[in-house]
Structure formats: C-alpha cells, structure tokens
C-alpha cells in the first residue's frame, strides 16, 4: 500500500470522484455475477465427484482413503478455496481500488518526458510517447500535439490505489 504522505498528490475533483465511483459501480455487478457462477460451478464439480462406489473412486490423500462424502468435501474445499483466493484478489485490485481512490480524495502526479511524436494524416490521429513503457503511444488532440515538443515534461494524474489515469481533455486519454 503506498504511503500517501510521501507521494506528490493533488485533490480529486467532484467529477473525478464521480467517475471513479461509476467505474466501481459498473464493475461490481459484473464481478458478482461471474464470481457467483464460478462458485456454483465449483459446487457442481464437487457434487460430480461424490460417488459411493469405493472400487472406482478411491482417492488417497496423506494415507487417508477418500470416498463418498470425504471426497466431496475435499474437492469442494480445494476448488472453492482457489476460487475464493483468486476472486478476492481480483476484487481488491481491480474493483475495490476505485472506491478506495474515490474515498481517499487524492490523486498522484507523475511527471513523464515526451520521447516521440507521431501523426497519421490518413486517419487524422496524433500520438505522443513517454519514457515509461506503461504509458506509451497515447492519442492526443492537435492542439496538445503541437504544443508539446520532444523532451517536454508532462504531468499525468493517476489514482493512488487503482492506478487509473485521468483525462486532461476529450481526446487526451491515458487509459
């Protein structure tokens, strides 16, 4: 977890907080649906492993023969624990981080150097590249493209926990 006191941060605007909460509220129902389906699938596969026939379904774990209910509980524990671990990890990193950023009320400022500018006349698109491989080839509008030179330093505003990069204007997107 980043130490907020040591980061160069600025306050979030109301619009940015609203945007973060919108992303959170949009991702949450989809995640809950998919997570629920995976939980039900894990229970289904655990029930499919439940057989009373000892001859054909004899599994041994640490010298203990698993048949019937023991096998069902073992498979249920194994599958569901993996689903819970992955699900909680995804939730905390990709969904809850947006709510945490919105309630934090601050965003960090990253300063990046422009290393390349590209213009594509057929599609009328302008791109700039930064010195960080995580922030390469970003589309900008014409005014921003011509106002920046190679070697200029540009501030990028990013969420502290979600690492969501905010927009400067309509086409200056770092997403």
- Residue 92 to residue 98: CA distance in whole angstroms: 9
For the chain, domain boundaries: 13-104, 106-159
Which segments within 55-152 are labelled E, that is strand? Answer: 59-61, 64-66, 106-120, 125-130, 138-140
CATH number belonging to domain 106-159: 2.40.50
The 10s digit of each residue's pLDDT in 39-48 is: 999 888 888 7
Instruction: Give the tens place of pLDDT for each residue, 78-94.
Output: 889 999 999 999 999 99
User: Cα–chain-centroid distance for residue 169?
Assistant: 23
What pLDDT sits at residue 54?
53
Predicted TM-score (pTM) of the model is: 0.74
Does 57 score more than 90 pLDDT? no
Q: How confident is the model at residue 3 (pLDDT cuts 50, 70, 90)?
A: low
pLDDT at position 85 is 96
Three-class DSSP category at 11: strand
């Amino acid at each position: 977890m980043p130490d907020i006191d040591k980061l160069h941060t600025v306050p979030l605007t109301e619009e940015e907080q609203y945007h973060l909460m919108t992303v959170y509220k949009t991702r949450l129902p989809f995640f809950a649906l998919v997570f629920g389906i995976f939980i039900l699938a894990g229970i289904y596969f655990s029930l499919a492993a439940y057989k009373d026939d000892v001859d054909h379904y004899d599994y041994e774990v640490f010298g203990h023969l698993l048949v019937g209910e023991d096998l069902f509980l073992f498979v249920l524990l194994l599958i569901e624990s993996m689903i819970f671990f992955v699900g909680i990890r995804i939730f905390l990193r990709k969904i809850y981080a947006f709510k945490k950023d919105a309630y934090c009320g601050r965003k960090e400022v990253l300063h990046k150097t422009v290393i390349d500018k590209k213009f594509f006349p057929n599609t009328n698109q302008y791109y700039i590249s930064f010195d960080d491989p995580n922030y390469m080839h970003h589309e900008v509008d014409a005014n921003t493209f011509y106002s920046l030179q190679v070697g200029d330093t540009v501030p990028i505003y990013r969420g502290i926990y979600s690492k969501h990069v905010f927009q400067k204007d309509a086409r200056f997107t770092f997403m």
